[in-house]
Chains A and B, each alone.
Chain A
Amino acid sequence: MSPSRNAQRSVRDVVFVDGVRTPFGKAGEKGIYAGTRADDLVVKCIRELMRRNPSLPADRIDEVAIAATTQTGDQGLTIGRTAALLAGLPRTVPGFAIDRMCAGAMTAVTTTASGIGFGAYDVVIAGGVEHMGNHPMGSGADPNPRFMSERLVDPAALNMGNTAENLHDRFPDITKDRTDAYAAASQAKLAEAYSRQQIQEDLVPVATKKPGQGWALHTQDEPPRPGTTVEDLAELRTPFRAHGRVTAGNAAGLNDGATAAVLASAEAAAELGLPVKMRLVSYAFAGVEPEVMGIGPVPATEKALKNAGLTIEDIGLFEINEAFAVQVLSFLDHFGIADDDPRVNRYGGAIAVGHPLASSGVRLMNQLARQFKEDPSVRYGITTMCIGLGMGATVIWENPNHADFESSVQASGQTTTEGAAA
């Protein structure tokens, strides 16, 4: 019987098994990963995942999808495949590279998750890396002159800081005072999470060696500035616009880091005895004007909620990437959520911890998964982020620790479609 004649195909449940990341570093010569290769950071994550999940046989991994925004040099050569080989996974395990700028790792997750749902994979590794020290944003890119000549995209939109200033123009209610207050809170929340050991558990220690210093071991993030006050932030320059609003303090920095996660079909997770930290409910990507790319999470979230048959009121936890405070606040304002709502970024966000572009999606998922475990009262949470050139990405997850979880899996397990993909 040919596949196209296969009358019924079930869509399988996809679960988030485990995720890890390297500590994030500051990009540049003084950063902890100066002189360290990007692919090596990915390798450390993959190996840590394998160690943490000893019941997962390496030859059961069906795909390794690794995102990087710049795919040259130590991030080139199909990094999903090279990282798999360098990590010592069997040669039978395939891999590929993926790029959706800041939502790279998130797209690696959704793409491979779709493959799991479709039945092409049982278990995958998905993650991302960005060594912005080795690969400054946009380096080596050659934008088509038509963007300018035909005014397709304002050239200023290729600079993310400018798009954040544009967002302030669009939403005058979002003042610099509000963004600075949000940024200071992000630093404080991260420091609090560190003190409660809520971050460290998912970090892979990374040893690096620098000339004249010897081997050092990195077990925590380099970017955070605990104790930052709004007064400190008020004094910072606004590099993108004179007397502007966006500063180094209310935006994520330039960072180096890598993440990786294991996803599986619910059946494979049960068969292999793998933990289920979250169940994938729905996801969506949406495009917006590149000049205000930060608004992207709004349409993406609306689309994902609609796909899931949920409303914003159903969402108990938000992990939103903090490329810029203004972008987070535009999202919160849209959905009528307070700036300091305790459901949002409980452990702080990228403003404090850093944002190595294509790696960040899995960091959001790691944190949401840990919050699910800590808070079984929450049933649904989202991970969402804005994306350069005007996009947003949102993934909705269900908490397996919630009382109603089993019934939802049972219900969706019976979902079938009429040969939809045939």
Chain B
Amino acid sequence: MSATEFQKLASLFPDEIVTHSYVQDIQLPGGAGTFALITLDNGLDHSKPTTLGPNTLVELGEVLEGLKERAAKGEIVGVGVTGKPYFLVAGADLSAVKTLKERDHGLWMAQLGHSVYSTLANLGVPSFAFINGLALGGGLEIALQSTYRTVSTGAGALALPEAFIGLVPGWGGVYILPRLIGPENAVKVMIENPLSNNRTLTGPQAFELGLADALFEPADFVEQSLAWAARVIAGEETPARKNAVDPSDEDVARRWAAAVFAGRTFVEAKTSNASPAPAKVLDIMEANRTMSQGESAGLECETLAGLMQTDEFRSTVYAFLDLVQKRSKRPAGAPDRKLARPVTKVGVLGAGLMASQLALLFARQLKVPVVMTDIDQARVDKGVAYVHAEVDKLLAKKRIKPDAANRTKALVTGSVSKEVFADADFVIEAVFEELNIKKQVFAEVEEIVSPECILATNTSSLSVTAMAEDLRYPERLVGFHFFNPVAVMPLLEIVRAPKTDDAVLATAFELAKGLKKTAVLVKDAPAFVVNRILLRLMGEVIAAFDEGTPAEVADTALRPMGLPMTPFTLSAMVGLPVAQHVQESLHNAFGDRFPVSQNLQKLIDNGVTSLWAPGPDGEPVIPAETLAIMSFGNNPSTREEVLRRTQDALAEEIGLMLEEDVVAGPEDIDLCVILGAGWPMFLGGITPYLDRVGASERVNGKRFLEPGVASAPA
């Protein structure tokens, strides 16, 4: 590693948006001397976070070298690093790192970071990070490599999310953090948080953990941080680091090992070790307890270089940046939003559990009157009472304030008469999943509402096209498919029937935004996207089971994919009758690709709700009486065979969905399974995984995505 190599690396990124390192000399209060303050700033507004690319790091390194010389001459007494408003720095430029073709380039990138940060850590004068805002990954590591840290109470999102991204906190974070805040807290920050929906820390939380030495409010954060630095330099203040540990201490060594072990258990539970990165974080942390920082740095760089070349990392960047952060904000195929009509009142047909969840969501997010109807007063009252009780729960948890609770409750009313829909702009049905019933209620509603009122169906398995057929104004019907639990799941499949017009569709997308859901446009096709893929997957596994594969083998065969739950657990959670119902409609539409399991039907007929039940020692078993109901073939498969046939089935099904134009492209399939089924980002959703394991080529003769999109560049 040399300056030449770093320059060579930097020259690979001529278009990098460079985060500059601006230096200002500050005369510290109280005559404490001259302090050089570096501001990391890309010159753009807060919608463009500052990132660390090779050119940025080279510039920061040169600036730090210059300050090191000034420190040696006695010109400065300290160096500070802070950021433009709202950001310290968001971390490494992942979209750039993703494009690094050669392992050596990744290694240089890792070494470049270490070289720059090591200068910061060894300036000859103390260094201070003033964490004014967001600091992720390499951004937070700048702070960790500084001698001292202050943090703003207004700083949002402090984290080392590398384990989630597919990397390790390899610019010193994995070495410094356990020493600074204790091994248990370090595992929490480096493992548990990233793997729990990529959770982050607030400024006060970071201070509480000991990650920062002082906490100041945003109104005069820079001034107070400088005043604090002056007192530290003058020896008037010494931070108390209550959680800091000495790794050579025997007791700490025991805690260290226990924390790593707990981390491994957590990773196993969350990911089935299907992605290499989290375990690598723990490997390095385990090894570096007895290492010098330099030794650890070597290990960190080698590990980073390896991980940067993995498709799990590239798929995560694709899923996280390209899909969840970008594509989700500009849904493919959505009409011009200017066509959208205002929605000032919402009607909900039905007052059952789904309907009540919808009513709560609409009232809370849109803050417009929501009226529910059902066939008798008792059902209506129950629905409204459910909403009110849920609001009270939110209030008790302090998720909302009393005024907001009053407002939301007042917005939700019920009636047995559909006349209350007369002035509604949007009426959604959540009645029994039966085509004739839905057509009947829509026919009644059409007698009451204005011709412009949008009608929406929350059906998961029926044809929206068929539902629109006898409507007076079929262009007003749109599918609005939520996922359970409605308040939590971020995906909304918006279903366009052949006659659905653009204004209706545009309104549906604006509504989705108002409801804080990510909407994906899907064609009216059986079970749309998420359920079709999930049931194709479950169908394969259950078929293998029916053929005689032991339950334990069948149900764990997909472990290498790291899905959030096993197929049998998933079907129990969805409810066996619901799963069977959707499977039947898919079977009717597509035939044997969706086999209807007789065993499953027998379970349903006998009132069994789950294949697995807790055994005597707590381990899940299939009770003998459950087994007795079912019959099996004599053609068992191995785990590998079940995995492969499932991969192939998914590749086939998704290939067909794309041929049928169910969605605009494989990216939408991936977005749907990430947000609607919680599939992991290291699979890239699903199509990058199917490309990676060769299923796409095997079944369809071609990849879903071009090389480089979510995998190594060609």
Contact = CB atoms under 8 A, between A and B. Distances in A.
Interface of A: 40, 43-44, 47-48, 86-88, 204-207, 209, 211-217, 219
A204 B43 CA distance: 27
Nearest to B23: A214
Interface in B81-130: 82, 84-85
B257 to A, nearest CB: 43
15 contacts: A88-B217, A88-B219, A207-B222, A207-B226, A209-B41, A213-B22, A214-B37, A214-B38, A216-B26, A216-B37, A217-B27, A217-B37, A217-B223, A217-B226, A219-B27
A211 B85 CA distance: 12
B164 to A, nearest CB: 31
A213 B37 CA distance: 11
Interface in B1-27: 20, 22-24, 26-27
Contact of A214 (B22, B27, B226, B227): B22
Given A207-B226, A217-B226, 11 more contacts: A43-B219, A88-B217, A88-B219, A211-B43, A212-B41, A213-B22, A213-B24, A215-B24, A215-B82, A216-B24, A217-B27
Given A44-B220, A213-B24, A214-B24, A205 B82 contact: no
A48 B217 CA distance: 13
B219 A87 contact: yes
Given A205-B227, A209-B39, A215 B222 contact: yes
A389 B456 CA distance: 66
B152 to A, nearest CB: 13
A48 to B, nearest CB: 8
Given A44-B220, A216-B26, A205 B226 contact: yes
A215 B22 CA distance: 8
B142 to A, nearest CB: 15
Contacts of B41: 209, 212, 214
Contacts of B20: 212
Contacts of A212: 20, 22, 41, 43
A262 to B, nearest CB: 18
B22 A47 contact: no
Contacts of A213: 22, 24, 39
Which of B27, B37, B222 has the most chain A CB atoms closer than 10 A to its own CB?
B222
B29 interface: yes
Which of A47, A211, A212, A215 has the most chain B CB atoms closer than 10 A to its own CB?
A215
A36 B227 CA distance: 20
A205 B29 contact: yes
Contacts of A211: 43
A209 B84 contact: yes
A43 B220 CA distance: 9
Interface of B: 20, 22-24, 26-27, 29, 37-39, 41, 43, 82, 84-85, 217, 219-220, 222-223, 226-227
Contacts of B38: 214
A207 to B, nearest CB: 4
Nearest to A215: B39
Contacts of A206: 223
Contacts of B220: 43-44, 47-48, 207
Contacts of B84: 209
Contacts of B24: 213-217
Contact of B223 (A86, A88, A205): A205
A213 B21 CA distance: 9
Nearest to A211: B43
Q: Closest 10 interchain pairs by CB?
A: A214-B39, A214-B22, A207-B222, A216-B24, A217-B26, A215-B39, A207-B223, A214-B24, A205-B223, A215-B222
Nearest to A209: B39
Contacts of A47: 219-220
B331 to A, nearest CB: 35
Nearest to B40: A214
A43 B217 CA distance: 12
Contacts of A40: 219
Contacts of B227: 205
A401 to B, nearest CB: 26
B402 to A, nearest CB: 16
Nearest to B85: A209
A217 B223 CA distance: 7
Contacts of A48: 220
Contacts of A215: 24, 37, 39, 82, 222
Nearest to B38: A214
A209 B85 CA distance: 9
A219 B222 contact: no
A219 B82 CA distance: 19
Contacts of A205: 29, 223, 226-227
Which of A44, A204, A219 has the most chain B CB atoms closer than 10 A to its own CB?
A219
Which of A48, A207, A212 has the most chain B CB atoms closer than 10 A to its own CB?
A207
B76 to A, nearest CB: 14
A48 B23 CA distance: 26
Contacts of A43: 219-220
A213 B39 CA distance: 8
Contacts of B226: 205, 207, 217
B288 to A, nearest CB: 34
Contact of B219 (A86, A216, A217): A86
A219 B29 contact: yes
Contacts of B219: 40, 43-44, 47, 86-88
A315 B222 CA distance: 42
A40 B43 CA distance: 21
B279 to A, nearest CB: 40
A70 to B, nearest CB: 23
B39 A44 contact: no
Nearest to A205: B223
Contacts of B37: 214-217
Nearest to B84: A209
A398 to B, nearest CB: 32
Nearest to B27: A219
B222 to A, nearest CB: 4
A40 B221 CA distance: 12
Contacts of A88: 217, 219
A417 to B, nearest CB: 42
Contacts of A217: 24, 26-27, 37, 222-223, 226
B397 to A, nearest CB: 23
Contacts of B217: 88
A207 B222 CA distance: 6
Nearest to A46: B219
A204 B226 CA distance: 13
A216 B222 CA distance: 9
A82 B84 CA distance: 24
A217 B39 CA distance: 12
Contacts of A214: 22-24, 37-39, 41
Nearest to A44: B220
B43 A44 contact: no
A216 B37 CA distance: 8
A211 B22 CA distance: 10
Nearest to B130: A215
A212 B19 CA distance: 11
A83 to B, nearest CB: 10
Contacts of B26: 216-217
A21 to B, nearest CB: 14
B32 to A, nearest CB: 12
B66 to A, nearest CB: 14
A34 B27 CA distance: 20
A48 B220 CA distance: 9
A353 B27 CA distance: 20
Contacts of B82: 215
Nearest to A217: B26
A91 to B, nearest CB: 14
Contacts of A204: 223
Contacts of A216: 24, 26, 37
A219 to B, nearest CB: 6
B22 A44 contact: no
A37 B27 CA distance: 23
A68 B39 CA distance: 32
